[in-house]
Structure 1
Amino acid sequence: MARTKKKAHGGKKSKATRNDVMQVGEASNAIQQPQQPTKVWQPGVDGMEDGEELQFDPTAYDCLHAFHLGWPCLSFDIMRDSQGVLRTDFPHSLFCVSGTQADQPANNAVAVVRLANITGQRRKPKTPSAMEEDESESESESESDEEEDESMGTEPNHVSQSKHPVLQVRFVAHQGCVNRVRAMMQQPHIVATWGDSGYVQVWDMAAHIRSMSGGIPDGPGLRTTVRQAPLQIFTGHKDEGFALDWSPITAGRLLSGDCRNAIHLWEPTTGGKWIVDKKPFQGHSASVEDLQWSPTEADVFASCSVDGTLRIWDTRHREQSAISIKAHDADINVISWNRLASCMIASGCDDGTFRIWDLRSLKEDAFVAHFKYHKGAITSIEWSPHEASTLSVTSADHQLTIWDLSLERDAEEEAEYQAFLKQQQAEAPADLPPQLLFVHQGQKDLKEVHWHPQIKDLLISTAADGFNILRPSNLENLPGA
């Protein structure tokens, strides 16, 4: 898969889709025309006439913010923190790390980012029963609510825009573009980067995290790039790469895969160093695109490749992979191992499709599900850390989608739900997958999405024109939300 590296052009206001009937998977932008019915507009399927405009509906989100770092970032990762294992109430704060795609090799950096005061709101689940119970209360309080919203400069039930997140950034010089960056789960200040120079480097970002933890906004002098020596550099790869993953079980254990088919294992030693096995795992016949450690077995990992195969490996047996299947007919760009249901793996392909696999019966054409919604290459896929059946996907068709595999079409329940809606919503096309829960648009050339492991239902995505932070409002309707 070709990964383009482009200069940033500034953020765009995100255009959203809304799913009021989650069983239907009605995820759409509405085209508003005078004296015309509201329509569901499908990206890559429907065109735009002169004068037509996609209308952004802020009520589709409990939270939506955007920021950029000057240069586009192909990859980023969320850094775990000590603010709470599971957080739900706004405002939120978080740390993440990303790597730039600058115009010149010397202009690149690894960026450690702190975002504070991420505002939003929680909503009551919009179910028929809840609407019946709240109808009289809502009517009696509507006037006072409207007055309060007007005082805040917003419309009723819309995400508050009266406060904005506080952005802090520390830039660490990195020679060459950053293809992928990952933070260690057990020690989030330890960060690995894959550079287009062909080197994998490990960094200690603890000092930068400490300097931002006081919550003081950055001044002009703090936005400069500092030079820092990495903890370790591995030059044994024969080409650049994108595959990189820290073990969730063994702290410090790292895998890196390159475009020359090789996978190297990093073993941590004392003193903050690693021993990298010079003899790689070999078996793929083309570029290794992604790697994922098993969430339950310390010596097991998965890989995917441009050769279309998905492989399962055991680090104790290096001669060949334990399992190899032809999983797609085109390049497999990304994989994700479900940490809540460890028998499930998702794979995303260059042809725009993604598949779900059950490791208990892993063989060719034995996938659990196959989805063909996207019109461009799948660039990122990740299971939710809080719901075993939910995953997010980004694509080169400029869409971020959220899927819930537990959803099925139920005509009776849909009709009941529509009867309680105060405003008539557009009908979803019949051919939309019922598992499609939400579609987010407005970012150009989406590259990567991650769920925050500690903030319920919060996602961050990166694209050529910057980052978005979002929480769809309909995720609260799901069981366990």
Structure 2
Amino acid sequence: MSAPDEDTFAEEGGDMEEMDEVGSGGDDDDDEGVEMEEEGAGGEGEKKVYVPGIEPLQPGEELEMDRSAYRMYHECQTGKTSCRTCVCVCVCVCVSSESCPVAFNCVCVCVCVLLCSGAPCLSFSVLRDGGGEAREQLPLSMLLCAGTQADTALSNRLLVMRMHNLHGTEKEKEGEESSDEESDEDEEDEDKKPQMELAMMPHYGGINRVRVTRRGEQSLAAVWSEKGQVEIFDLGPQVEAVHSSAAMTAFMKQQKEATALFSFSGHMTEGFAIDWSPTVPGRLVSGDCKKNIHVWEPQEGGTSWQIDQRPFSSHSKSVEDLQWSPTEATVFASCSVDQSIRVWDIRAPPNSMLSATEAHSSDINVISWNGSEPFLLSGGDDGLLKVWDLRQFKGGRPVANFKQHSAPITSVEWNPVDSSVFAASGADDVVSQWDLSVESCDVGARVEGVKDLPPQLLFLHQGQSEIKEIHWHPQLPGVMISTALSGFNVFRTISV
């Protein structure tokens, strides 16, 4: 468990601010964002747009974040909040006195060290809150659920974060200001610092993937972990804790491992693929690294599930991702290391499905089902992003194919508000945003000197190391959250 004042939050880029004066730090490299500027070595003030993968940086060139390209930008880290063990070490140094060799002057120093796991959250999910839909008025707030991947199984946590007081980026101040004006602005800046409350439960085993849903009044998290089990947790106590200091105090007294509402050990090994149904509350599908897929049906009472022991097993290798149809309650899609995408109907026999057997030239890592249109988005180890029209799926040919990332795709997701917009992240440490409705004639020469960018490419965001997962916030239009080895980014670009 952790107190909320131990969280690390950075506002609008580089100045890392820890709550309640925990300290400050940060790395300027973390400020490298999309639409970044590249400052040449020859000539002060000479700048140009830098596009990843087009031209490498030259000696003496540095990247500089263009804040005007963001409506909102924040960073946060949760690794330090894993601190829970204090070890005290005492060292005594004794020196003999010159006047009396048998007498010693001793100085003892005791140092207490707080041991921290520093574990990154490589999977997270957005919890819907009661603040309303389509919220754009600043400051913003959000709830997230995430799971850690620590060095040891005992050091992992399942956590709920409440981020609030999230203000937008501001234009840099111009001209000289009086001391009174500076003082007023300092107070205003203090009021605009982002805040975060964090409630953590110990979880034995690294968390591969976490997905959340609402079932009645319950906030449920489905967790795929390295111990080979899929577990369901009730997040109610954690959600209450991040909204109330009294509830947080009571929650922190429960120094024990999280107890699952329900767990399933029928998978033959661990996995990553998991998804809640958006049309049937509590219905779940999970897939493992041995190719098997199981469908979970919720039972009365909200604490148990019936799982069909006959797996959907037509894939020949690991199932990497799963997505329920947003409109058909019995249909879901899967992708696999076997380079295929399959569409299943749970009313049909487990071996009956539609399939694109060679959808990518290598492992397919992630898929996303469009909420409004019959489109499926996929990303693979080949760095390709492909859009599939499910009305023409039997043909096995995508309707769109994009190659912008220079490394495997790690996450994809359609925008829940604008059906033509999607985003992707890659192992090249880039988040890309796209709009399929944009045509070549709409953009012209968008970026001087760069001719080969796809016209549908809206934005490239950088500044994180080893980006693993991205999500749009369904209640905050245009707001995107990304998680990486280096922490979380919360941002909205001028493009979406």
- TM-score, length of structure 2 as denominator length: 0.79
Aligned to 2:385: 354
Aligned to 1:44: 53
Aligned to 2:32: 15
- C-alpha distance in structure 2 between counterparts of 1:346 and 1:87, whole Å: 26
Q: Does 1:251 align with 2:281?
A: yes
CA contact under 8 A between 1:346 and 1:355: conserved in structure 2?
yes
1:331 aligned partner, one-letter code = D
Show CA shifts across 1:399-431 (max 9, x none): 0110011112237x657xx9xxxxxxx615100
3-state SS in 2 of match to 1:361 = helix
Aligned to 1:136: none
- Give the CA deviation at 1:145: 12
- C-alpha distance in structure 2 between counterparts of 1:115 and 1:10, whole Å: 19
Structure 2 counterparts to residues 68-467 of structure 1, below 5 A: 68-70=77-79, 71-120=119-168, 163-186=192-215, 189-214=219-244, 222=252, 226-271=256-301, 272-325=303-356, 326-341=358-373, 343-410=374-441, 414=444, 427=448, 429-467=450-488
Moved more, 160-169 or 75-84: 160-169
- Give the CA deviation at 1:57: 1.2
- Give the CA deviation at 1:183: 0.2
CA contact under 8 A between 1:291 and 1:335: conserved in structure 2?
yes
1:40 aligned partner, one-letter code = V
Distance change in 2, residues 1:143/1:409 (3 Å): farther
Aligned to 1:126: none
- C-alpha distance in structure 2 between counterparts of 1:148 and 1:469, whole Å: 32
1:55 aligned partner, one-letter code = E
- Give the CA deviation at 1:218: 7.3
- Give the CA deviation at 1:118: 1.0
- C-alpha distance in structure 1 between counterparts of 2:395 and 2:255, whole Å: 48
Aligned to 2:9: none
- C-alpha distance in structure 1 between counterparts of 2:179 and 2:396, whole Å: 58
- Give the CA deviation at 1:161: 8.3
3-state SS in 2 of match to 1:210 = helix
Distance change in 2, residues 1:218/1:406 (3 Å): same
3-state SS in 1 of match to 2:391 = helix
Distance change in 2, residues 1:233/1:147 (3 Å): same
1:454 aligned partner, one-letter code = Q
- Give the CA deviation at 1:121: 6.0
- Give the CA deviation at 1:224: 8.8
CA contact under 8 A between 2:199 and 2:248: conserved in structure 1?
no
Show CA shifts across 1:179-201 (max 9, x none): 00000144561100000110000
Distance change in 2, residues 1:323/1:365 (3 Å): closer
The structure showing larger relative contact order (alpha-carbon pairs under 8 Å, at least 6 residues apart) is 1
3-state SS in 2 of match to 1:82 = coil
Q: What percentage of aligned pairs have identical amino acids?
A: 41
- Give the CA deviation at 1:53: 0.4
Distance change in 2, residues 1:225/1:57 (3 Å): farther
- C-alpha distance in structure 2 between counterparts of 1:64 and 1:452, whole Å: 14
3-state SS in 1 of match to 2:394 = coil
- Give the CA deviation at 1:223: 10
Q: Does 1:57 align with 2:66?
A: yes
Moved more, 159-168 or 325-334: 159-168
- Give the CA deviation at 1:81: 0.8
| Structure 1 unaligned blocks of 5 or more | 1-8, 19-27, 124-141, 419-425, 476-481
- Give the CA deviation at 1:93: 1.1
Moved more, 62-71 or 209-218: 209-218
- Give the CA deviation at 1:211: 1.9
1:448 aligned partner, one-letter code = E
- Give the CA deviation at 1:165: 1.5
- C-alpha distance in structure 1 between counterparts of 2:472 and 2:290, whole Å: 30
- C-alpha distance in structure 2 between counterparts of 1:224 and 1:460, whole Å: 30
1:47 aligned partner, one-letter code = P
- Give the CA deviation at 1:465: 0.8
- C-alpha distance in structure 1 between counterparts of 2:412 and 2:132, whole Å: 25
3-state SS in 2 of match to 1:474 = coil
1:73 aligned partner, one-letter code = C
2:371 aligned partner, one-letter code = R
1:74 aligned partner, one-letter code = L
- Give the CA deviation at 1:363: 3.2
2:343 aligned partner, one-letter code = I
CA contact under 8 A between 2:240 and 2:247: conserved in structure 1?
no
- C-alpha distance in structure 1 between counterparts of 2:361 and 2:479, whole Å: 33
CA contact under 8 A between 1:460 and 1:469: conserved in structure 2?
yes
| Structure 2 unaligned blocks of 5 or more | 1-24, 80-118
CA contact under 8 A between 1:247 and 1:253: conserved in structure 2?
yes
Moved more, 159-168 or 227-236: 159-168
Distance change in 2, residues 1:99/1:399 (3 Å): same
- C-alpha distance in structure 2 between counterparts of 1:185 and 1:359, whole Å: 28
Distance change in 2, residues 1:61/1:146 (3 Å): farther
Show CA shifts across 1:158-182 (max 9, x none): x978622111111111111000000
3-state SS in 2 of match to 1:363 = helix
- C-alpha distance in structure 2 between counterparts of 1:80 and 1:119, whole Å: 20
- Number of paired residues? 425
- C-alpha distance in structure 2 between counterparts of 1:223 and 1:97, whole Å: 20
Give the alignment's Cα RMSD to 1 decimal.
Answer: 3.0
Show CA shifts across 1:25-60 (max 9, x none): xxx543344257433323234222222100111111
Distance change in 2, residues 1:96/1:323 (3 Å): same
CA contact under 8 A between 1:10 and 1:465: conserved in structure 2?
no
Show CA shifts across 1:247-285 (max 9, x none): 000000000000000000110001221111121111000
CA contact under 8 A between 2:420 and 2:436: conserved in structure 1?
yes
- TM-score, length of structure 1 as denominator length: 0.82
